[in-house]
Amino acid sequence: IMALDAGVGLLSHLATHPHSRGVLLRRKVAEELLLEMVVSSEKLEFPPEQYLCTLAGAVEVVIKLIWDEEHPPFLPTTPVLHTIVWTLICALDGVMWAGITWSALSRVQALAKLSAVDELKVHLIDLHLIEALVRLLDQWTSEQGVLVLEYALLTLLNLLTVEEARFRLYLTGVYRPLRSIVLGDEGASAGAREKAVLCAWLLFEWQGGKLGTV
């Protein structure tokens, strides 16, 4: 499994660079290798943690290469989704899991795409992704880079089409980190500020609607 995990990690790295990404696309690595591995894993009843991490990495590479939000080539299983969310939490805590140190950026890049798929939104909410994302917003500093912040906010926006997500977001006390981002504290980008405003507005609109029905 360690060799397989190292191979998937290398593919993930190659998929981020234009030239090597083009080579992977031409050779159909995602379609003919990774997709088969991910889909065949659905037959496993109790896959080990290390293999779930490898599968989560394979899913992220597929998302980088050939993901289509309207017609996704596959839907990750609940254990794989759980692994992606759990490794985001590990990244926020700065701890290793399954012998690996995780990056918050690669997690939220994948989750931003997955959260746009209607069939996956409730699963991700049930896995406490909302709470994890609010932790990320609260902990964010400019040293982490603006991309991780923008992808986290995009993921939130995707999930806020579900009422349960708005309720959970309200319970987290998210207004404080959103206000900090909107004001540009810690060097938040214009794109992040815009997304934070939209999140706050959607939540405010939901609260107003609830008060109007009381």
pLDDT at 157: 97
User: Is residue 214 predicted with pLDDT exceeding 60?
Assistant: no
pLDDT digits (tens, 9 = 90+) for 181-212: 999 877 899 999 999 999 999 998 888 776 66
Q: What is the pTM of this model?
A: 0.91
CA 41, 83, 146 angle in degrees (round to 5)?
A: 125
Strand 96-97, strand 100-101: pairing: antiparallel
User: Is residue 97 predicted with pLDDT exceeding 80?
Assistant: no
Angle between helices 129-139 and 175-182 (to 10 degrees): 50
Which residue(s) pair with 96 in the sheet?
101
CA dihedral 92→141→153→114, nearest 10 degrees, is: -40
